[in-house]
């Protein structure tokens, strides 16, 4: 799901979604190389703005897809907002969870407790923080008990909307979340019976513990995953 700020199909003013899609899986970049994964389908759900109605349309599209195909899905939601969330979004995220849609969301980039943000605080999402290549928490990444896992989100190389052969780099929890989502997609491909809890448990099995550091503070889940 991505806020693209589209005003007409050819007028894309944000690279956010194109970049995230490339991190999850591209032809030559990404965690899941789509040229090697013929049974995987990457679907984009575009929002013209951050208006509530746009979010509802996006979530409803996902719910319709899960209902009609009866398939599991990995959903990346690189979005967080301060507060407890609004009821329509809360209800739809829970509905997606009940339909075996597994949502990965970004923890946010305000260097504060992710439990103060929605959907990172939701029990129905897997929330991802950002670590640097030296395995320190990236300075701006949100943190705390709401963060389930950390992933690489610093100086990530991925696709650009500028052309079919353009690439760029970016930093943020928005790019850590699809990294972990791509790992999860690979796991699900080999374990199609996995549900939310199975998948999170397997991710944590693959992760390393006690290496994420936030300036000596100890209120972290201290989990990270790298590929």
What's the farthest any 2 CA atoms get from each other in the chain? 49
Q: What is the mean pLDDT of the segment spanning 84-98?
A: 91
129 and 143 in contact (C-beta within 8 Å)? yes
Instruction: Write down the pLDDT at residue 181.
Output: 92
Q: Residue 211: pLDDT band by 50, 70, 90 thresholds?
A: low
**Average pLDDT score, the chain:** 80
pLDDT, residue 103, reads 95
Residues 31 and 186: beta-carbon distance below 8 Å: yes
The per-residue pLDDT for 5 is 46
Portion of the chain with pLDDT greater than 90, in percent: 35
Model confidence band, residue 2 (pLDDT cutoffs 50, 70, 90): low
Query: Which of the two residues, 205 and 97, has the higher pLDDT score?
Result: 97
Reported as a pLDDT band with limits 50, 70 and 90, residue 170 is confident
* Of 3 and 122, the one with more pLDDT: 122
CB 195 within 8 A of CB 100: yes
Where does the pLDDT of residue 202 fall: very low under 50, low under 70, confident under 90, or very high at 90 and above?
very high
Higher-pLDDT residue of 46, 129: 129
The predicted pLDDT at position 26 comes to 72
Residue 89 reports pLDDT greater than 80: yes
Tell me which range, 90-94, 168-172, 216-220, is most confidently predicted by mean pLDDT.
90-94
Q: Report the phi/psi class of residue 123: left, alpha or beta, with left for phi > 0 and alpha for psi in -120 to 50.
A: alpha
Using a CB cutoff of 8 Å and minimum separation of 24, what contacts does 27-30 make?
29/157, 29/158, 29/159, 29/167, 30/158, 30/182
pTM: 0.83
Coil, strand, or helix at residue 27? coil
């Amino acid at each position: 799901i991505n806020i693209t700020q589209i005003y007409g199909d050819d007028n894309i003013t944000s690279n956010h979604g194109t970049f995230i899609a490339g991190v999850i899986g591209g032809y030559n970049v990404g965690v899941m190389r789509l040229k090697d994964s013929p049974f995987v389908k990457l679907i984009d759900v575009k929002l013209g703005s951050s208006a509530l109605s746009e979010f509802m349309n996006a979530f409803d599209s996902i719910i319709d897809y899960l209902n009609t195909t009866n398939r599991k899905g990995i959903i990346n939601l690189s979005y967080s907002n301060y507060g407890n969330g609004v009821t329509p979004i809360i209800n739809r995220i829970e509905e997606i969870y009940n339909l075996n849609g597994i949502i990965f969301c970004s923890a946010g980039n305000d260097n504060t407790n992710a439990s103060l943000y929605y959907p990172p605080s939701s029990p129905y999402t897997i929330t991802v923080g950002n670590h640097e290549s030296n395995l320190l928490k990236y300075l701006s990444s949100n943190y705390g008990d709401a963060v389930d896992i950390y992933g690489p989100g610093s100086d990530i190389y991925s696709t650009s909307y500028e052309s079919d052969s353009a690439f760029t780099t970016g930093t943020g929890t928005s790019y850590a979340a699809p990294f972990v989502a791509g790992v999860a997609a690979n796991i699900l491909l080999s374990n199609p019976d996995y549900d939310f809890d199975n998948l999170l448990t397997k991710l944590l099995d693959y992760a390393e513990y006690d290496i994420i550091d936030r300036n000596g503070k100890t209120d972290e889940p201290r989990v990270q995953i790298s590929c």
